[in-house]
Amino acid sequence: MSIGIVGLGYVGLPLAVAFAEAGEEVIGVDVDHGRVAALTQGRSPIEDISDERLQAVLGSCRFTTRPVELHETEAILVCVPTPLTRNREPDLGPLLAATRALADVVRRDQLIVLESTTFPGTTRGHLVPLLEESGLRAGEDFALAFSPERVDPGRTDYTIRTTPKVVGGLTPRCTERAAAVYGRICDHLVPVSTPEVAELSKLLENIFRSVNIALVNELARLADRMDIDIWEVIDAAATKPFGFTRFNPGPGMGGHCLPVDPFYLSWKAREYDFSAEFIELAGKVNQSQPYFCVEKVERALNAVGKPVRGAKIAILGVAYKPEVGDTRESPALKIIELLRERGADIAYHDPHVPELTELGLAGTGLEDALENADLAVIVTAHPSVDYGLVVARAPQVLDLRGTTRHLGALQL
């Protein structure tokens, strides 16, 4: 018996490799032909899985675009994207398409688990009816559960094995089945009573981060106006050994999770005549943070008698966080767009992002980006970048991440 994974991105691929490394046969399905071809040739599209690690499991890991190949698997884990539409409403398109495909392959006694982040009620309200078009009954003929992925791309101190995994089945037997499968790759299982509890627990984790980031971003703006060093404030507060969790200010929120997931819940809340104020407010504060960063750029240039128009600005780090090449929803994109609107001449350096096709920009080496720059702006602080060199070479540095505080650069 083997494990099927649907959606081979930041979540699905590490899961596929983890099961293969634990000795399971794995069949990975993705709609992206190019991705399937690359994986089959041992080329990994994500930083967390090296080509060597992928190649080492190719004997037991097979990749395909054909969901029908999942028919004989013991379990199918669904890890497809759950984005927002242009109107910032949940877009269940990829998830419903994947589920429809599974309705044609699901068989008796199989286990299906949804891992994609989504609003409470998705598993029961959207997956069950589609899967039951197979003629089989969820929770009776086949098992169904929700188990949120907790992967944090770029993180190495916690792995799939050491991060506790929440599992909520449609029935207690479904939860047991899912826990037994995940128990092969996770040391700690956290069974909960329903899929809805599991779905909402994942959203709580993400909303917790979003709200706290917004709080500290707002305080950073106030501290700026009051001429108080927010970094020193946070360092001092963080010495409290209880009742305080450190969050740092920055250019805003990026990635596939924090700028997207909370709005799945605020959208769903409206159906219950409920306005999720914290979520909306945090989104508003975090989305406006790039504008504050651009104001800081204007002030930095103004201090040396330069307008933004015609200024050469080196943007350092365009991925949404350190050590990854993912630019989805990255605040750097917004900052570049706003600075270009104001007439700035932008170059960027990011060791993980060779080009920004959507902005028609190609990355350059660090020294090339700094060459003749009026200002360097550290938007995402990849640890591999030599910030000593940045501060030494650039006439001015604006650091949105607090990395160069000890070097005397201008901070957020």
Ligand X SMILES: NC(=O)c1ccc[n+]([C@@H]2O[C@H](COP(=O)([O-])OP(=O)(O)OC[C@H]3O[C@@H](n4cnc5c(N)ncnc54)[C@H](O)[C@@H]3O)[C@@H](O)[C@H]2O)c1
Backbone angles phi, psi at 145, to 5 degrees: -150, 165
**Which structure tokens are listed for 255?**
């990635």
* 3-state helix vs strand vs coil in the chain, percent to 5: 40, 15, 45
Stretch that binds ligand X, among 56-64, 76-84, 164-172, 367-375 (CB under 6 A): 76-84
CB 100, min distance to ligand X, A: 8
For ligand X, give the closer residue by CB, 29 or 315. 29
Identified binder of ligand X from the candidate list 31, 84, 136, 269, rule CB under 6 A: 31
Burial of 164 (0-12, 13-18, 19+ CB in 10 A): exposed
Say how far apart CA 350 and CA 249 lie, in whole Å: 21
Catalytic residue among 61, 174, 186, 257: 257
Q: Is 80 in the site for ligand X (CB under 6 A)?
A: yes
Between the two ends of the chain, the Cα-to-Cα distance in Å is 54
Please give the sequence-ordered ranges of beta strands (E in DSSP) within 52-209, or none if there are none: 61-64, 75-78, 111-114, 143-146, 165-169, 189-192
**Which structure tokens are listed for 391?**
């501060």
Q: What are the angstrom distances between the C-alpha of 143 and each of 73, 160, 174, 179?
A: 13, 23, 5, 12
Cα 385 off chain centre by: 22
Q: Is 149 in the site for ligand X (CB under 6 A)?
A: yes
Radius of gyration of the chain (CA): 23
CB 349, min distance to ligand X, A: 24
Identified binder of ligand X from the candidate list 24, 30, 199, 374, rule CB under 6 A: 30
Q: Is 136 in the site for ligand X (CB under 6 A)?
A: no
CB 81, min distance to ligand X, A: 4
Q: Is 141 in the site for ligand X (CB under 6 A)?
A: no
Q: Is 196 in the site for ligand X (CB under 6 A)?
A: no
For ligand X, give the closer residue by CB, 94 or 139. 94
Number of C-beta neighbours around residue 240 at 10 A: 10
Residue numbers 247-286 binding ligand X by CB under 6 A: 256-257, 261
Identified binder of ligand X from the candidate list 2, 44, 117, 286, rule CB under 6 A: 117
**Which structure tokens are listed for 28?**
């990975």
- Residue 61 annotated in active site: no
Identified binder of ligand X from the candidate list 2, 4, 5, 6, rule CB under 6 A: 6
DSSP string across 261-295: HHHHHHHHHHHTT---HHHHHHHHHHHHHHHHHHH
Say how far apart CA 226 and CA 161 lie, in whole Å: 46
Stretch that binds ligand X, among 2-10, 56-64, 338-346, 368-376 (CB under 6 A): 2-10
Identified binder of ligand X from the candidate list 35, 268, 334, 352, rule CB under 6 A: 35
Stretch that binds ligand X, among 27-35, 291-299, 348-356, 387-395 (CB under 6 A): 27-35
Stretch that binds ligand X, among 31-39, 219-227, 306-314, 388-396 (CB under 6 A): 31-39
CB 12, min distance to ligand X, A: 6
The residues of the shown chain that bind ligand X, judged by CB under 6 A, are 6-12, 29-32, 35, 79-82, 94, 97-98, 115-117, 149, 151, 153, 256-257, 261
Give the catalytic positions in this structure: 257
